[in-house]
Copies of this chain bind each other. A is one copy, B any other.
Amino acid sequence: MAVTIKDVAKKAGVSPSTVSRVLSNHPRISKETSIKVKNIMNELGYHSNMMARSLVSNKTYTLGMILPRPAEELFQNHFFAENIRGITTQAARNGYDVLMTAGANDSDEMEAITRLVLGRRVDGIILLQSRKHDPIITFLREHDFPFVLIGRYEEDPNVLCVDNDNIQAAFDATSHLISQGHTRIGFVSGPPSLSVSQDRLEGYRQALAEHQLQMKSEWIVEGEFLQESGYRAMSFFMSLPERPTALVIIDDVVSFGVMRGLTELGYSVPEDLSIIGFNNISLTELSTPPLSSIDIGIYQLGYMASQMLIKRIQGETQPQPRTIVPHRLMIRESSLHYKAKRSGV
C-alpha cells in the first residue's frame, strides 16, 4: 500500500500540512523540521509524484534557460559555463532545478519558450543575452510570466535584469590605455544587436571624447565572440596606413585571436599593439604575455539573476528592477609599459 502524507505526518509527530510545506520548500519550515520529515519520508519510502504535486500547487520548482545559439558557441566555453554555474548554484540552494532548452535559430527559440511557458514546465525564465526589441521579452511580458534578463533592456525599464555597467567598464578600460600613453586606440566589438556591444562601444567613445582623442570609424571593427573575429580584426588593423597602437576588445577569447595573429606575423604585445579584453577568464593569466582584462563577475551575474527570479516567483517585491554587478580592472602585461618598451628602456 502506498505511503501517504498522513503516514509521514503521524510518524513525525507533525500535521499533514507541515509535511506538505516541507515538500514545497516553504520558507517558514525550520531546517530541523525539514530534515526530520525528510528522514521519515525516506524511512517509510514516501515519495510524492512531483508532477502531480506541480499540477496542484501550480509550481514546478524549476527555472528555465535557453542556450545560446551555435553561432555563439565559443562564447559558451568561458562566459556561459561560469554563468550557468552561478545560476545553478543559487537555484539549488533554494530547492530549484534548472531546465535548459536549445534553439538553433530565432523561430526555434521562440517555440522553445512557448513550450516552457504555456506548457507550465518552469516557474520562470532566465534570459542569457539581451537583444533590442526581443520578441521573446514581448511574449513573456504579454503572459506576465516571471523572467530575469542578464543584460539590459532599454525599451522597458521595468524588466528585471542583472547587468554590469558596461559603459563605465569600457570607459575604464579605454582610460587605462590612455594612461599608458596611447592616443590611437581601436575597438573590437561584438554583434551590434547585443546591448553589451552597444554599451561598451559607448564607454570607449566617452573616454576618447573626454581626452579629446580622435575616434576613427576604421578603428572600430565588429565581429562574433570568436577567436577568428579577433584574428580578422587584427589583420585589418595591421594593414591600415595609420594603425592604432592599442585595442579595447569586447571579449577575452577575441583577444586571444588578436594575440595569436600578432604572434604569427612577428609583432609583439604590448610593444606593437597593447590590448585589454573583457571577462577575465582563467586563462588570461596564462597567455604570453598575460592578458589585461575587465573582470565582470560572470558567476555573480548568474547567481544574482537566479536569486532575483526566485524572489519574483515567490512574490517578493524587488526594491529595484535592475541590479548592477561591479567590474574590476585586472591589469597585466598586455597593456603595460608601452612607452618604456617602445623606447627600449
Contacts and interface: CB of A to CB of B under 8 A. Distances in A.
Interface string A56-86: 0000101000010010011011101110110
Contacts of A118: 47
Contact of A92 (B84, B103, B260, B282): B103
B99 A97 contact: yes
A64 B89 CA distance: 16
Contacts of A76: 81, 85
B88 A77 contact: no
Nearest to A54: B51
Contacts of A47: 114, 118-119
Interface stretch (A126-134, A270-278, A285-293): A285-293
A55 interface: yes
Interface residues of A, number: 57
A315 to B, nearest CB: 21
Interface in A101-149: 101-104, 108, 111-112, 114-116, 118-121
A188 to B, nearest CB: 16
A118 B85 CA distance: 25
Q: Which of A70, A92, A283 has the most CB of B within 10 A?
A: A283
A92 B104 contact: yes
Given A76-B81, A92-B102, A92-B103, A50 B288 contact: no
A100 B102 contact: no
A49 interface: yes
B77 A119 contact: no
B101 A85 contact: no
A340 to B, nearest CB: 22
Nearest to A74: B282
Contacts of A81: 76-78, 80-81
A256 interface: yes
Contact of A286 (B55, B70, B111, B259): B259
Contact of A51 (B119, B260, B286): B119
Nearest to A118: B47
A285 to B, nearest CB: 7
Given A92-B108, A253-B282, 14 more contacts: A47-B118, A48-B119, A50-B121, A55-B55, A62-B99, A70-B89, A76-B81, A77-B77, A77-B81, A81-B81, A88-B102, A92-B103, A97-B100, A97-B101
12 contacts: A38-B111, A62-B99, A67-B85, A77-B78, A78-B81, A88-B101, A89-B102, A92-B104, A227-B282, A283-B283, A286-B287, A288-B288
Question: Closest 10 interchain pairs by CB?
Answer: A50-B119, A288-B288, A81-B81, A47-B118, A92-B102, A97-B101, A98-B100, A88-B102, A283-B283, A256-B286
